[in-house]
Amino acid sequence: MTIALERLRQQLMSDRKVLCTGNPNNPELLAHGFQKIFPEATFIYKSNGWDFTDQSADFTQRLKELFLKHNTFINASFVAPFVQSYLLELCAQSVKHCDVFNIGSTHEYDGLGYKEYTESKLDLRSKSLLLNTYRFKTHHIILGGIKRQQRTDTVDWLSIDDICNIVPWLMNQQFAVPIICLDQPKKAW
């Protein structure tokens, strides 16, 4: 029975319907890198009508209907504190079979972020791990600093392409990877 269920899940996931937060037209955002990997993905962000700080019943229903059309969710954008957790919870309420990739931050452990940001990312990690099941597989990806095109102080940080390539790598792993961390080289202090 387990083998049959695994084949059924593999068949369902072989036709990826990817939903990703963030504007893919902005080369400074992870969504830009994810668009290269998943060109048919649906991207949701404020300037195309998806203001995640609006948690009204109507907006929530719109999001739930959108989640139903997808089997892969890349929760890539920090918009405001606890919004990523809200989106994760809505996805879990809406979709029975899904792979979710939550983007966390090294501020979860390094104490360098502002309090609400850190608490938000810790909440996302906790919910990601709690919601992880056979049907609703979650991956929490803790990231260090992202290389920015116009900043020379980030030259040794993680490139958007390197970060985004983690998602297909995770999809192809034989074993579950509910949490993973990538960090840029740190300066000795």
Q: Looking only at Cα atoms, what is the longest distance across the chain?
A: 55
Q: At 25, is the secondary structure helix, strand, or coil? A: coil
Asked if residue 188 belongs to a domain, the reply is no
pLDDT of residue 79: 94
Q: Domain for residue 189, yes or no?
A: no
* Domain annotation covers residue 44: yes
102 has pLDDT over 80: yes
Block residue for tokens 């969710």: 73
Instruction: List Cα–Cα distances, 141 to 30, 105, 116, in angstroms.
Output: 13, 8, 19
> pTM here?
0.93
Q: Which residue segment(s) compose the domain that 103 sits in?
A: 2-182
User: Where does the pLDDT of residue 132 fall: very low under 50, low under 70, confident under 90, or very high at 90 and above?
Assistant: very high
Residue 52 structure tokens? 């995640």
pLDDT in tens, 44-75: 999 999 999 999 999 999 999 999 999 999 99
- pLDDT, averaged across the chain: 93
Decide if 147 is inside a domain. yes
Contact by Cβ (8 Å): 147, 153: no
Give the CATH number, domain containing residue 167: 3.40.50.720
Q: Is residue 187 part of a domain?
A: no
Examine residue 38 and state whether it is found in any structural domain, yes or no.
yes
Query: In the structure, what pLDDT confidence band is assigned to residue 145 with cuts at 50, 70 and 90?
Result: confident
Q: What is the pLDDT of residue 150?
A: 80
For residue 106, tell me if it sits in a domain: yes
Residue 81 lies in a domain: yes
Q: How many structural domains compose the chain?
A: 1
Greatest mean pLDDT among 87-96, 141-150, 176-185: 87-96
Q: Tell me, rounded to whole angstroms, the distance of Cα 86 from its chain centroid.
A: 12
